[in-house]
Structure 1
């Protein structure tokens, strides 16, 4: 019956209550026979029905008997269930708003392999505009495995008038000298012996964490707020870099 779902009752619990409505008062054995349920199932059903007030236990001549509560109580139970449902629906709406905000504001993807990482760089460059700034922190020496690719990539970047500022690791001397000769490019070196095996790149609303060893891969975060925070971090490092 659909009412069992509205009340949050199992079929066995409804069967016990329905039987008691007809018998008025019964013991465990009578309920078991009348509902074709084993005694364990009857005990479980009675326990649930007692908790929600649909069944009362009485003692007669030292015997445990059970009688049903007035069916009018079902209206109250249904009303409470409806209130719970409304509350749950409101909570679901709030959760959906949070989910949609997160989904809208933040997108994260992983790109594994040289060609996949090249593709994400090229897509970003394609969507970039004149005077956009591509900020890079901690470009490692291991990045020189793509020196030939970067040379051609930066030619395209220069034609699009996209600026680049790079804070290199101290061990990337060859790359540093190469980049200094490129147009629209400013280069500084990470202070002290600070060396990172990854590079952090920020452009527009995207943040890339690029690993060059043991395998090239990039973790890309698309979020305006995240990009803003990392840009502030870059600006701080840029001031102390040489």
Structure 2
């Protein structure tokens, strides 16, 4: 007999074996049930209890001995109907809970902080943007310092070539004391809008912002980068950047 349909109805293999055994035995004590179903004696009462809860087995006591009997097979349909009703009730309860569950998911803060040392460390942190940004997206830098070692300038030039191949754009706000030739060079690349920070604003550290990531970069006295992965923090720094960007002006080199 194919018992897969009974399994799909919600009965376990053990329950099916016991129920089928009782159909053949009629009213019976546990001994013949164990022998017929080949279910271990240690769990036979547990299975019979579950079948009684499902309305598929009844029990009577005669002379202090329990006799179990299978309910009519059509009772399986009643059990399925009751199970479907409970599932529908559970579905409706879950539907009511969904807004609360979704809110909890949104409130879960996914955060990580990483530190990188030296100029190679700064480059490692910076290059994480290529793992997160897609073609047509962009990243922002603000507070870029005037001084950077020549090797770092050479790195940025190579990186702009890579950025162009990836079709990623960037906006850069340099500190006011940055050399004009540096801004001229950066603006010569596709997808770059490099400007000076608004008058009177200068930061020892610079900040890169993309997606859920903020990188705080300090060039001297010891080069290091602190990478913060947190959407709320990234959104906060992005808001600062947008405010400074509004107050900045397109770069125009002095004659």
TM bracket, shorter-chain basis: 0.5 to 0.7
Contact 2:15–2:47, Cα closer than 8 Å, also in 1: yes
Deviation at 1:77, TM superposition (A): 2.2
Residues 68-79 of structure 1 mapped to structure 2, 5 A cutoff: 68-79=70-81
Q: Which has the higher helix share?
A: 1
Q: 1:70 to 1:141 in 2, by over 3 A?
A: farther
Matched, 1:147 2:131: no
My pick for the range that moved more, 70-79 or 115-124, is 115-124
Q: Distance in 2 between matches of 1:47 and 1:142?
A: 80
| TM norm structure 2 | 0.54
Aligned to 1:185: 195
SS at match of 2:8: helix
Deviation at 1:40, TM superposition (A): 1.5
For 2:190, the equivalent position in structure 1 comes to: none
* Counterparts of 1:151 and 1:15, CA distance in 2: 75
* 1:209 match: 214
SS of the aligned residue for 1:182 comes to helix
Give the superposition deviation at 1:237: 7.2
Structure 1 gap segments, 5+ residues each: 103-109, 169-175
CA contact (8 A) 1:6 1:78 kept: no
1:232 paired residue number: 239
Q: Give 1:51's aligned residue.
A: 53
Q: Distance in 1 between matches of 2:47 and 2:13?
A: 9
Query: How many equivalent pairs are there?
Result: 200
Tell me the SS of whatever aligns to 1:29: helix
Instruction: Quote how far apart the aligned CAs of 1:34 are.
Output: 1.8
Checking the alignment, whether the CA contact within 8 Å between 1:13 and 1:46 is kept in structure 2 is yes
Matched, 1:39 2:41: yes
